Structure 1
Amino acid sequence: MENALNPLEAPDLTRTDSAPREALALPQAVLWDMDGTLVDTEPYWIAAEHELVEAHGGTWSHEQALQMVGNPLTESAKILQDAGVDLPSEQIIDFLISRVIEQVRVEVPWQPGARELLAELRERGVPCALVTMSYRSLAEQVVQMAPVGSFVTLVCGDEVTHGKPHPEPYLAAAERLGVDVTRCVAIEDSPTGIASARAAGAATLGVEAVVPVPVLPGLSRTPSLALVDVDALSRILAGDVVDLIED
């Protein structure tokens, strides 16, 4: 039976059912999305989209930008072409990535609680993988600025055949780590990413960042990683629904 936490109880995440806290198994691994989840780079992407569309004489709305969140970059390029960007997909992707890398080199905008959770996972021996639709050139910039040893492996958008919401990225991460994906917790912020993680069979925590995280059966949610610790991830793995968002 799933147990939902009252949002007013946050950040007290002690288990309330009959299973003792110390009996909960740690995740075999934690699989992290990057943009919006680990780092608040979505504003960087949106600014680059505006710049590109407007340079080609088009207009770009905030609502259009939100529809891009979590998409494979090839899909985003098609949407930008439809908005009037007369460039091949590869050039569009290169432009967007280069602009975001420029910003990340100035400052990595870590989401609140992300670095602390990474450190706790490392202290408790839980390996992490980064699973992102951004390309490796950007992902490596972010990982280099994370606490040393935070990520064992990276699965990036230019390394998979099928991007999110297909389960391939999360299945690939579990395979590279040598773990059972159903014994892992995925941390995501977009409906596309959440669908990918759940399709792969990972217990999933949705972090509300740029777009709302919907209420779905079995989906845990939080407005911030600052409210989440490793014990909470163990509860999610055990089948509890940890819901800290007030709808």
Structure 2
Amino acid sequence: MTITKQPISLKVNACLFDVDGTIIISKLAVQAFWRHFADDKPEIEWDYDHVIKLIHGRRTYDAILEFAPSYATVEYANECERSIPAKYGEYSVEVPGAVKLCRSLNNLPKEKWSVATSGTRDLATQWFKILDIKKPTSFITANDVDNGKPHPEPYLKGRNNLGYPINVEHPELSKAVVFEDAPAGITAGKDAGCKIIGIATTFSVEDLKKWNKCDIIINDLTHVRLGGYDSETDEVELIFEDYEWVSPDFQTCRASKITLAGSCLLAVGSVIAVHIIQDIETDQIRQGPIKDAARMSEKTQRKLTNNKEEHLYQQELRKKYEQMQPLNGKIITKSSDDKE
């Protein structure tokens, strides 16, 4: 039986983004830089194939320190990074959907996103100019931290800047999500107490799954959109209309009010888990009976009525609910193909 994936809705207080491989794909440009790094340095032993496997997601200074330590100065690392867009920028492209999503975040009434990149400020700024995206005020770069990824400092600073540091006593009051493509950044985000959205631009979906640190894996940002901003909770809603994989431990996260009974459908193999509300920070799961549309507030009902597309979508969800019945705490869908 084939089941169509249903959107996942997350409400978070802070959205944190890497740059390279997450907003812009500069892989070919960066590879070209490192391929030619030793052209004028005959005294160093340079194994490009070995180096390129280990440096993605790390600060240029840290990479030079490891593989060409005699050249490891902050000034030289900055100079190297400034040269990349100028020399090799033509090889770079937007991560599909990134510009649209970043502009949507910039249009919110309150800033809810931050950049936390291993690149220098000069390099990251040039990429944003190339893509014509306004930088967020919180723009954490290699110049702003003592410890680069995989240390969590970049993402800790990012969420702190947005006013949502890790809340040990009440983690549900400080929900942050990280968009990342590389193992160093994924580790940094996880250790900063964030949920991880892995983007399969630099590494494959299977590679991202093997690292066992992502909560959701997507191919790019094409099917990620904003559902709105709630000033009362200071939360922005992220809606994932398509995805490649979801962690079994990450069923659904506090779903949008405009989904039926505050619930979100999530396809897991041939099983659809419904009305399993999971706190994004504490992983505490609570279950409850499925309610009908009458539970919606009048305000939400008006939103559905005024939005024909959303209203039709809700009707489709209701049809699915009618076909569902509990089984061992999960919800399964009956099908005409199923045998009694």
Q: TM-score range by the shorter chain?
A: 0.7 to 0.9
TM-fit CA distance, 1:62: 3.4
Q: Is the counterpart of residue 208 in structure 1 residue 192 in structure 2? A: no
TM-fit CA distance, 1:54: 2.7
Q: Distance in 2 between matches of 1:164 and 1:132?
A: 9
Name the residue aligned to 1:153: 138
Whether the 8 Å CA contact 2:60–2:81 is kept in 1: the answer is no
Q: Distance in 2 between matches of 1:14 and 1:89?
A: 47
Report the TM-score, using the length of structure 2 for normalisation. Answer: 0.57
TM-fit CA distance, 1:140: 1.8
Higher helix share: 1
Q: Distance in 2 between matches of 1:171 and 1:113?
A: 26
Higher strand share: 2
TM-fit CA distance, 1:139: 1.6
Aligned pairs for 1:85-96 (under 5 A) are: 86-90=70-74, 92-96=76-80
Name the residue aligned to 2:97: 113
Query: Which amino acid is the alignment partner of residue 214 of structure 1?
Result: K
Whether the 8 Å CA contact 1:50–1:60 is kept in 2: the answer is no
Name the residue aligned to 1:140: 125
Cα distance change, pair 25–100 in 1 and its aligned pair in 2 (3 A): same
Q: 1:183 aligns with which of 171, 175, 185?
A: 175
RMSD of the alignment, in Å? 3.2
Structure 1 spans left out of the alignment, 5+ residues = 1-5, 16-23
Cα distance change, pair 109–203 in 1 and its aligned pair in 2 (3 A): same
Report the TM-score, using the length of structure 1 for normalisation. Answer: 0.76
Q: Distance in 2 between matches of 1:49 and 1:77?
A: 10
Structure 2 spans left out of the alignment, 5+ residues = 167-173, 226-237, 242-250, 256-263, 269-340
The answer to which structure, 1 or 2, has the higher relative contact order (CA under 8 A, 6+ apart) is: 1
Cα distance change, pair 44–149 in 1 and its aligned pair in 2 (3 A): closer
Q: Distance in 2 between matches of 1:91 and 1:147?
A: 27
Identity of aligned residues (%): 18
Whether the 8 Å CA contact 2:14–2:175 is kept in 1: the answer is yes
Name the residue aligned to 1:225: 221
Q: Distance in 2 between matches of 1:149 and 1:224?
A: 20
Quick check: which has more Rg, 1 or 2? 2
TM-fit CA distance, 1:53: 1.5
Whether the 8 Å CA contact 2:179–2:196 is kept in 1: the answer is yes
TM-fit CA distance, 1:93: 1.1
Cα distance change, pair 87–149 in 1 and its aligned pair in 2 (3 A): closer
Q: Secondary structure at the match of 2:38?
A: helix
Query: Which amino acid is the alignment partner of residue 131 of structure 1?
Result: A
Name the residue aligned to 1:21: none
